[in-house]
């Protein structure tokens, strides 16, 4: 099963990402911001924060919410590589 991103926000060079199963991770985006190529525009702090969104279940940067005009990340990579902040657990059933 591929995890689905439901919420994301930027915190300096990090992404705080919440998934549909309640898992929340902190993912270091500093290396991504230095890669260049299609990721060059993410070096601009304004773009990194203001264009950050959830699009089709993944973290993306987009001005117009068009999947053809966005930069997006693999949600499975974020899910497995992110530092776990919190995991929502189902209450124990009695």
Helix (H, G, I), strand (E, B) or coil at 31: helix
Q: Taking CA 54 as the corner, what is the angle to CA 46 and CA 86, rounded to the nearest 5 degrees?
A: 100
How many beta carbons lie within 10 A of that of residue 32, not counting itself? 16
pLDDT of residue 89: 57
Does residue 94 have a pLDDT over 70?
A: no
Answer whether 66's CB lies under 8 Å from 53's CB.
no
Integer Cα distance of 52 and 44 in angstroms = 12
Rounded to two decimals, what is the model's pTM?
Answer: 0.86
DSSP labels, 36-64:
-GGGGGGGSHHHHHHTEEEETTEEEE-SS
Identify the band that residue 68 occupies on the pLDDT scale cut at 50, 70 and 90.
confident
pLDDT tens digit string along 80-92? 999 999 865 555 5
């Amino acid at each position: 099963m591929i995890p689905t991103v439901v919420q994301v926000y930027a915190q300096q060079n990090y992404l705080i990402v919440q998934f549909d199963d309640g898992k929340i991770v902190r993912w270091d985006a500093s290396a991504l911001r230095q890669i260049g190529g299609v990721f060059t525009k993410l070096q601009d702090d304004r773009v990194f924060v203001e264009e950050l969104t959830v699009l089709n279940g993944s973290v993306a940067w987009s001005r117009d919410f068009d999947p053809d005009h966005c930069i997006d990340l693999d949600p499975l990579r974020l899910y497995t590589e992110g530092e776990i902040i919190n995991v929502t657990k189902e209450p124990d059933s009695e």
